[in-house]
């Protein structure tokens, strides 16, 4: 109990201390993020990979409304907790060669966002989940709006309107479930136990799904994403793509499937169709991109589309694939955006046609970038392979044509990612890249760490699969049992 409370609120304490740390904010935030990672690893070592909820906290909070501070960890949440606490120090370290205006506020907002994310991933009370959901949105909005690039205010207003609209739909669904609950509380198990008819489950499905689909995002709720990823500062883009979109995936698995299984049964095919459309659509647009950062943004939409299709295929392989790919995608996409940030910091552009020949002058950057790209395109032996393989198996078990089209994400992804790598890294140096310098210091530390994770998880994914297997199986059994009751 004490360990989980410390894990959730240590970043909040860190945010407050960092806010008053002045020029030392970078170091202070690093220390707090590394300590949080250490604590997460201690919890992971003491975690028993079964279907039970562990390290549970259940304290009265707003008693008159039936709100408790109820949080806990199972295999599904353990995975995203590890991802969050792993990526935050990596993201902070990736900023060491930047000098941001008002660094104390910048790093404090990152840690404050980490606290909100950990609330989302551990909450077993719907009110607490919603608080975490909104708490994670506020700091990333300010990070993008204050330290973002050209036209950031307009772009971030679009992002903010999208996410707030989705959140309000979810809030309506939560309030309705609360009113249907005889115990008049927001406890997740009470929501799971509700006997709602198909019509009720249908509209609640869409109320929750729209919120989650915007966050992921999947087609057609994705239009805020490419502009926001491009205009955000590099570390903001990493937070959005590496961790924040996992909130939507996690929300579908933890809240949507078990609460409204009949809604999922009735509308799941529509979601799979939207996901597959998103895969093809985003991949085709990625082919046309002249800016490497926008190309990676569209690549992310395609990969998330496959994760979404795997989840709604609703079988063990698809769900396990989604778990593994959440972790792999987070690591890979942070690596991609960091490499592009290094390139931009040297030559002040991410335009593919203006780059080239970097491998000749920066061989270490070229090698690490190649490993990250190969992980992204799911080369066997890298972390991307096992997740995408399981996802395609899951979608295949749902329908062969769905799998055939969804599989295009791997083929298309390999083409546009390797072509981008070729144009940026290989060939003759150009006027901008001839004086390019290789990676050093914290750049090496971050990229070597990411590459090691890509290779280790690719060669030996068993610990990740074992961590989530029992919880995924229990979730599927729970949902199937409830679905049979409804039918």
Give residue 164's pLDDT: 87
Residue 194 vs residue 117, higher pLDDT: 117
Over 60: is that where the pLDDT of 487 sits?
A: no
CA distance 322 to 287: 25
Mean of pLDDT values over 359-372: 91
- 326 neighbors 314 (Cβ within 8 angstroms): no
- 437 neighbors 361 (Cβ within 8 angstroms): yes
How much is the mean pLDDT over the chain? 89
Over 70: is that where the pLDDT of 460 sits?
A: yes
The percentage of the chain sitting over the pLDDT mark of 90, rounded to a whole number, equals 38
* pLDDT tens by residue, 237-250: 899 888 888 999 99
Mean of pLDDT values over 153-165: 83
Give residue 486's pLDDT: 58
* pLDDT tens by residue, 461-485: 999 899 998 888 988 888 888 777 7
* pLDDT tens by residue, 96-149: 888 888 889 999 999 999 999 999 999 999 999 999 999 988 898 888 888 877
Give residue 349's pLDDT: 85
Look at residues 415, 243, 399, 402 and name the one whose alpha carbon lies nearest to residue 329: 243
Nearby residues of 389 by Cβ (< 8 Å), 6 or more positions away: 321, 378
Give residue 479's pLDDT: 83
Give residue 39's pLDDT: 94
- Domain range summary for the chain, segments of one domain joined by +: 2-486
pTM (two decimals): 0.91
Q: Name the band, by pLDDT with cuts 50, 70 and 90, for residue 427.
A: confident
58 forms beta bridges with: 70
The percentage of the chain sitting over the pLDDT mark of 70, rounded to a whole number, equals 99
Residue 1 vs residue 262, higher pLDDT: 262
CA distance 404 to 308: 16
């Amino acid at each position: 109990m004490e360990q989980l409370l410390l894990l959730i609120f240590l970043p909040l304490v860190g945010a407050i201390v960092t806010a008053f740390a002045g020029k030392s904010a970078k170091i202070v935030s690093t220390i707090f993020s590394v300590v949080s990672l250490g604590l997460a690893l201690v919890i992971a070592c003491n975690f028993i990979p079964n279907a039970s909820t562990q390290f549970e906290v259940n304290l009265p909070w707003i008693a008159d409304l039936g709100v408790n501070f109820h949080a806990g960890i199972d295999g599904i949440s353990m995975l995203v907790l590890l991802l969050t606490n792993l990526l935050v120090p990596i993201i902070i370290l990736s900023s060491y060669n930047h000098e941001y205006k008002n660094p104390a506020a910048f790093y404090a907002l990152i840690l404050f966002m980490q606290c909100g994310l950990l609330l989302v991933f551990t909450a077993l009370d719907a009110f607490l989940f919603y608080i975490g959901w909104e708490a994670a949105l506020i700091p990333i909005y300010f990070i993008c709006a204050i330290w973002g690039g050209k036209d950031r205010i307009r772009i971030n207003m679009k992002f903010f309107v999208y996410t707030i609209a989705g959140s309000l739909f979810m809030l309506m669904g939560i309030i309705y479930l609360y009113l249907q609950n005889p115990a008049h509380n927001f406890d997740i198990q009470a929501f799971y136990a509700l006997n709602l008819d198909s019509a009720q489950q249908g509209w609640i499905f869409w109320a929750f799904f729209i919120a989650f689909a915007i966050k992921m995002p999947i087609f057609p709720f994705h239009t805020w994403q490419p502009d926001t990823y491009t205009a955000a500062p590099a570390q903001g883009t990493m937070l959005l793509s590496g961790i924040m979109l996992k909130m939507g995936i996690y929300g579908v698995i933890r809240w949507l499937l078990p609460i409204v299984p009949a809604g999922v049964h009735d509308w799941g095919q529509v979601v799979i169709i939207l996901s597959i459309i998103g895969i093809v659509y985003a991949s085709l647009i990625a082919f046309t991109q002249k800016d490497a950062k926008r190309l990676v943004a569209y690549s992310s939409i395609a990969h998330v589309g496959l994760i979404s299709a795997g989840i709604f295929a609703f079988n063990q392989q698809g769900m396990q694939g989604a778990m593994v790919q959440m972790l792999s995608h987070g690591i890979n996409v942070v690596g991609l955006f960091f490499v592009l940030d290094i390139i931009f910091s040297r030559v002040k552009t991410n335009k593919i046609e203006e780059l080239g020949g970097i491998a000749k002058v920066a061989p270490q950057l070229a090698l690490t970038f190649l490993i990250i790209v190969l992980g992204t395109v799911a080369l066997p032996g890298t972390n991307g392979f096992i997740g995408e393989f399981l996802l395609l198996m899951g979608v295949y078990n749902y329908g062969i044509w769905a799998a055939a089209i969804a599989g295009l994400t791997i083929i298309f992804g390999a083409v546009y990612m390797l072509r981008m790598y070729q144009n940026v890294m290989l060939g003759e140096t150009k006027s901008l890249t001839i004086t390019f310098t290789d990676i050093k210091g914290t750049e090496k530390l971050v990229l070597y760490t990411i590459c090691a994770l890509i290779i280790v998880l690719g060669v030996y994914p068993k610990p990740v699969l074992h961590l989530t297997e029992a919880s995924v199986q229990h979730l599927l059994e729970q949902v199937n049992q409830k679905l049979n009751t409804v039918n």
